[in-house]
Amino acid sequence: MKVVDRAFLGFGVASLVTAVLFGGFWERQARATSSPGALSDDAGVQEAYSEALDVVKANYAGAPEIETVNKYAILGMLRVLDPHSSFLDSREFSELRNEQQSQLIGIGVTINPRNGRVYILSAVPGTPAEKAGLRYGDAIVAVDGKSTEDLSYGQVVAAVRGERGKSVDISVERVGVPDPVTVTIVRQSVPLPSIRNHFMIGPSVGYVGLTAGFSSTTDSELGQAILDLQSQGMQQLVLDLRRNPGGLLDEAIKVAQRFLPEGERILVVRGREGGSREERIYTSKNGSPETMPLVVLIDDGTASASEVVTGALQDHDRALVVGQTSFGKGLVQTVFDLNYETGLTLTTAKYYTPTGRSIQRDYSGTSLYDYFLHRTKTLPDTDATVGEPVLTDLGRQVFGGGGIRPDIRVDEPAGTALRGRLFGSTFEFARYLVAGQFPNLRQFRVESVTFNHVFKGDEYRITDDVIAAYRQFLSTRQKDFPVTDAQVTANLEYVRNRIREEVVTAAYGTDVGGQLNILNDVVAQRAVEVMSQASEMAENARALRDRQ
């Protein structure tokens, strides 16, 4: 029985919240069945639906896909209940099962939408994509002969993925190559780790990016990352849960108890009063937890199972929480297996942090779009408090009802239209730079990717010659990237960092490129600065437990 906790959104805004998929799955049920007369009182509704469907089939101007119509009819019914109960078709249900096992079926690439197209940022080492020669900067222009020009990012991802053992033709536009390059790749199971990055962010401070959800391997991955960093001298830890959408709840419990001593409460799950779900209390069973000072990073994409971890560590004063207020999802779903390999996730319980906080945001009278984009009356990105405060072990005030508020709020730089143009233009410039298209900058040409590179900090420094080439590049691409010389000068540090991050990604893969991004990240920098506060708080909490 797998317990999962993840947020979900269907319909037209799904691509905006892909990172917060499938709500809190309390347990896995066998195929749902009903007694023959269970819905007899609603026979009129069933008859009306059947009649309406017949009218659609006979008279609709287009060619209705009945399977899709039925799917969204079920989704519409569930949306009346809450934002996280959902229906999964066979493909979605299969992807969920694969994801829980830390894998997906695909070709093994990291792809991203940039400048209105979908690009490959890196191939995963040892996967079919790497063996086929796909590389940084390749623009995916067709999949199985179908142009991607009018496809969304989500549609391109869906087209690239598919059945294990089935081949797919990927056509890419590559800088310096006149015609598209087409490769045929057989889809395979590709690793999907929870931890995408871990490295030393300071002399004694380790960083672990647990940003890809909680799957069956999350806790073991974290254990290995901690051991590796301790061998490098780590004495303090930054645990990054930003953009972590949740996942298997039992893995979240394991992660929390890795830092909490035996007997400490982690989570309480309660079903409806008089319902079939009894209250369940989860406590730590770890007799020798990690005692190093700990800072946890969160933002408005930190949801569900990652909020379970954050809430438990905050309530027991075990970690200092830095960043922005979390997503605010405290509902738990049961997964029911249905016919035709489909599934139903139904909200059956709520969870509460050790202090009794419910962190679920109010979704009454709010559209799905506003709810998942946080455009609700309890905005998580404000300092407004929701509900009565409760006290942590050390007597600090914390609040529930609208996500987990950080102990130290640090806002990331606000996005602007200019920053967007600079981001897009530095990426496009880097494509040409690493392809060797600037004769006087051949040292930046990347022939092949060096995976598992240990970043030293001095690789690919961006010289004035590179900036001069970037300015010249912009002068020829003003239609695409209207940026002036003055604007480049005013944002020169950002431009240097962006170009360098792209080149490092091309040379060493997305993991190392991500390290450079973290080293320049204001929230991560603040975490290192306040580590002494986290140390003092953890020591005070430990002393309090010893006195009790």
DSSP per position, 334-352: EEEE-GGG-EEEEEEEEEE
Distance CA 509, CA 40 (A): 59
Nearest to 30 by CA among 250, 334, 331, 279: 334
Nearest to 226 by CA among 255, 262, 190: 255
Nearest to 316 by CA among 285, 353, 360: 353
Nearest to 460 by CA among 438, 486, 433, 480: 433
Element (DSSP H or E) covering residue 160: helix 153-160
DSSP per position, 206-235: EEEEE-S-B-TTHHHHHHHHHHHHHHTT--
Tell me the one-letter amino acid at 408. I
In terms of residues, how long is the chain?
548
Residue 304 annotated as catalytic:
yes
CB 7 within 8 A of CB 18: no
Strand, coil or helix: 294: strand
CB 24 within 8 A of CB 6: yes
8-state DSSP, 248: E
**CB-based contacts of 443, cutoff 8 Å, min separation 6:** none
Q: Both ends of the chain: CA-CA distance in Å?
A: 36
Q: Which residue out of 2, 254, 329, 350 is catalytically annotated?
A: 329
Q: Which residue out of 240, 300, 315, 317 is catalytically annotated?
A: 315
8-state DSSP, 104: E
DSSP per position, 251-262: HHHHHHHTTS-T
Q: Which residue out of 85, 304, 326, 358 is catalytically annotated?
A: 304
Residue 315 annotated as catalytic:
yes
CB 97 within 8 A of CB 32: no
Alpha carbon separation from 167 to 105, 163, 174, 255 (Å, rounded): 12, 9, 21, 38
CB 200 within 8 A of CB 229: yes
CB 333 within 8 A of CB 345: yes
Nearest to 404 by CA among 489, 291, 502, 313: 313
Would you state the torsion angle of the CA atoms of residues 13, 17, 18, 24, taken in this order, to the nearest 10 degrees? -120
Burial of 356 (0-12, 13-18, 19+ CB in 10 A): exposed
Catalytic residues: 304, 315, 329
